[in-house]
């Protein structure tokens, strides 16, 4: 392998590596952007679901029903859990954190973990994340503005992960297609440019070699050396004339 070909090979490998790194970095940044976007969308949608359910309990309480005695509460939670694939669990607690209604009936009467309880004097929804699980809490307020309890909605990120996998697969497919086109074309362009530059430098070296005027040397080499010599002599003569002009007194130079 010649020196020019070796350089072209190394340059082609470097360009290919840079393209792969650029595609990988772009895919990672897009993945993180879509992950944040999808998680935010899911949280907003489920917060609306939790708020709507909490309003159902509040309307019943406004009719004079206490929170533990809201009719059809357990069936409402179970029906909502069955019809919404994003929801993994629903709970209604009293002000102390004791579970009154739950889609998992075995948990009724238990105490929720302290980290799921609402922050002090909270009046809006709150979000809790522990590992792969997320919770949205919405306060249930009576007609006097006092918090009687809270509705807790549990959800995972399986739906988000499924969409992210599809997005990542499409990005990987597009990146592979782009690399499959860009790398061969770039390598071919590099080899063509390197070959042409190598021929130019070889011809220049042959023309400027000391034995270029000897017998057997190409006629083009002798013509090139003669042209270079003529240009050199012309430049030298112009330099001498410029120095002579600069040495003249000011009046003579103006004339």
Measured in residues, the chain has a length of: 255
Instruction: Over range 152-165, report the average pLDDT.
Output: 84
As a whole number of angstroms, the distance between CA 131 and CA 115 comes to 13
Neighbours of 118 (CB within 10 A): 21
As a whole number of angstroms, the distance between CA 55 and CA 75 comes to 16
Residues 169-225: tens digit of each pLDDT:
888 887 788 777 777 777 777 677 666 666 666 655 655 555 544 445 566 666 666
As a whole number of angstroms, the distance between CA 187 and CA 13 comes to 8
pTM over 0.85: no
Q: Which are the contacts of 129, defined by CB distance < 8 A and separation ≥ 6?
A: 135
What confidence tier does 91 reach under pLDDT thresholds 50, 70, 90? very high
pLDDT, residue 7, reads 67
More confident residue, 55 or 121: 55
More confident residue, 226 or 124: 124
**Which fold does the domain 3-164 belong to in CATH?**
Beta-Lactamase (3.30.450)
Domain-by-domain residue ranges, the chain? 3-164, 209-248
Over 70: is that where the pLDDT of 250 sits? no
Over 80: is that where the pLDDT of 20 sits? yes
pLDDT, residue 136, reads 92
Averaged confidence pLDDT in the chain: 79
CA atoms within 13 A on the CB side of 146: 7
- Which region among 79-88, 203-212, 233-242, 246-255 has the lowest average model confidence (pLDDT)? 203-212
Over 70: is that where the pLDDT of 117 sits? yes
The rounded percent of the chain whose pLDDT value lies above 70 is: 78
> Per-residue b/e over 170-193, b at no fewer than 16 CB within 10 Å?
ebeeebeeebeeebeebbeebbee
pLDDT, residue 4, reads 46
pLDDT, residue 1, reads 46
Over 70: is that where the pLDDT of 157 sits? yes
As a whole number of angstroms, the distance between CA 55 and CA 121 comes to 19
Eight-state DSSP code of residue 212? G
**Residues pairing with 96 in the sheet:** none
pLDDT, residue 92, reads 93
pLDDT, residue 17, reads 82
Q: Which two tokens stand for residue 166?
A: 């599809």
As a whole number of angstroms, the distance between CA 64 and CA 59 comes to 9
As a whole number of angstroms, the distance between CA 211 and CA 226 comes to 14
Instruction: Over range 16-35, report the average pLDDT.
Output: 84
**How open is the CA angle 36-41-44, to the nearest 5 degrees?**
125
The rounded percent of the chain whose pLDDT value lies above 90 is: 11
Q: Which two tokens stand for residue 204?
A: 């220049």
């Amino acid at each position: 392998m010649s020196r020019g070909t070796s350089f072209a090979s190394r340059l082609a490998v470097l360009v290919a590596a840079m393209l792969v790194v650029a595609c990988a970095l772009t895919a990672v940044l897009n993945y993180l952007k879509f992950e944040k976007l999808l998680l935010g969308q899911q949280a907003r949608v489920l917060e609306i679901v939790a708020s709507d359910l909490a309003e159902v309990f509040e309307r019943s309480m406004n009719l004079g029903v206490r929170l533990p005695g809201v009719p059809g509460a357990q069936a409402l939670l179970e029906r909502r859990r069955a019809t919404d694939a994003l929801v993994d669990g629903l709970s209604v607690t009293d002000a102390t954190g004791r579970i009154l209604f739950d889609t998992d009936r075995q948990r009724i009467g238990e105490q929720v973990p302290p980290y799921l309880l609402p922050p002090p004097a909270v009046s809006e929804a709150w979000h809790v994340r522990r590992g792969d699980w997320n919770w949205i809490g919405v306060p249930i307020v009576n007609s006097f503005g006092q918090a009687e309890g809270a509705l807790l909605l549990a959800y995972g990120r399986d739906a988000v992960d499924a969409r992210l996998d599809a997005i990542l697969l499409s990005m990987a497919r597009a990146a592979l297609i782009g690399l499959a086109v860009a790398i061969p074309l770039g390598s071919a362009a590099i080899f063509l440019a390197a070959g042409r530059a190598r021929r130019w430098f070889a011809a220049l070296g042959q023309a400027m070699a000391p034995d270029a005027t000897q017998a057997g040397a190409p006629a083009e080499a002798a013509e090139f050396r003669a042209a270079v010599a003529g240009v050199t002599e012309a430049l030298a003569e112009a330099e001498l004339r410029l120095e002579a002009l600069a040495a003249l007194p000011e009046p003579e130079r103006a004339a």
